[in-house]
Amino acid sequence: MNTLFRHLRQAAVIVVAVLLGACSATTTVAIWPADQGAVCQPQSGLKAAVRWGTGWRANQKDVLAREAAAAQGVADFFAGAKCFASVVIGRADASSPEPLVPPGSDLLLVLTVRELGPTVKLFSSAALIDGGTEVLIDVARYLPGRREPDRQFSIHWRNGGPGVIKGVQSLPADMSAALQAGLGP
């Protein structure tokens, strides 16, 4: 009888914890410096070159999978956003000392992905688990004839909350959503 009572009590504790943690995911976006105007200019007729790269922390896990997710997310965003009349996307060349606007383009966007991945915090709330996904991107915009960017800012996008556990399958969509939040009109 004591064993049955103990199991029922454990089950009740688990159910209460799940109910307390069954909150829906929320999305937060921070852009700094704040008050950045939209980079996307759908009606402008501008031709853009986009170069993306990474600046992972030293202990970053699953680098190849994260880079594949970043590449897919960047491609998906620019394919669907219609930010510019045309966009050419490529990987940033680490051996090139200075980014220059390629011939035939009206501007160059350099995206540096610093974080792209799931997050999990244990015992951070009544839900016991607080998780989600996080994207951190540095953005620099260059205009023809200029060696320094005319705009630089960072996008920190997070989707999650108490009781939320996300894996790597959503990372391309998360990357695309972060770009929409930070670059979109």
Is residue 7 a part of any domain in this protein? no
Contact 147, 140 (CB under 8 A): no
Residue 164 has pLDDT above 90, yes or no: no
pLDDT, residue 10, reads 62
Phi/psi of residue 99, nearest 5 degrees: -75, 130
Instruction: Show the domain range for 36.
Output: 24-183
- CA torsion sign for 115, 121, 125, 127 is positive
**pLDDT-wise least confident of 6-15, 39-48, 86-95, 147-156:** 6-15
pLDDT, residue 88, reads 96
**CATH number of the domain bearing residue 70:** 3.40.50
Is residue 19 a part of any domain in this protein? no
| Domain tally, the chain | 1
DSSP of the chain, one letter per residue?
Answer: -HHHHHHHHHHHHHHHHHHHH-PPPEEEEEEESS-PPPS--TTS--EEEEEEEE---TT-S-HHHHHHHHHHHHHHHHHHH--SSEEEEEE--TT-SS--PPTT-SEEEEEEEEEEEEEEEETSSTTSEEEEEEEEEEEEEE-TT-SS-SEEEEEEEEEEEET----GGGHHHHHHHHHHHHH--
> Taking residues 72-95, what's their average pLDDT?
92
> Is 173 exposed, middle or buried (CB count within 10 Å of its CB: 0-12, 13-18, 19+)?
middle
Is residue 3 a part of any domain in this protein? no
> Taking residues 168-178, what's their average pLDDT?
95
CA–CA gap between residue 25 and residue 23 (Å, rounded): 7
Separation of first and last alpha carbons in the chain: 64
Contacts of 78 (CB under 8 A, 6+ apart): 50, 87, 89
Is residue 5 a part of any domain in this protein? no
* pLDDT single digits (tens) 2-22: 666 565 566 444 544 444 445
pLDDT, residue 130, reads 78
Is residue 2 a part of any domain in this protein? no
Is residue 82 a part of any domain in this protein? yes
pLDDT, residue 121, reads 72
> Taking residues 123-144, what's their average pLDDT?
84
CA–CA gap between residue 72 and residue 171 (Å, rounded): 9
Is residue 123 a part of any domain in this protein? yes
Is residue 88 a part of any domain in this protein? yes
> Taking residues 26-30, what's their average pLDDT?
95
Q: What is the pTM of this model?
A: 0.83
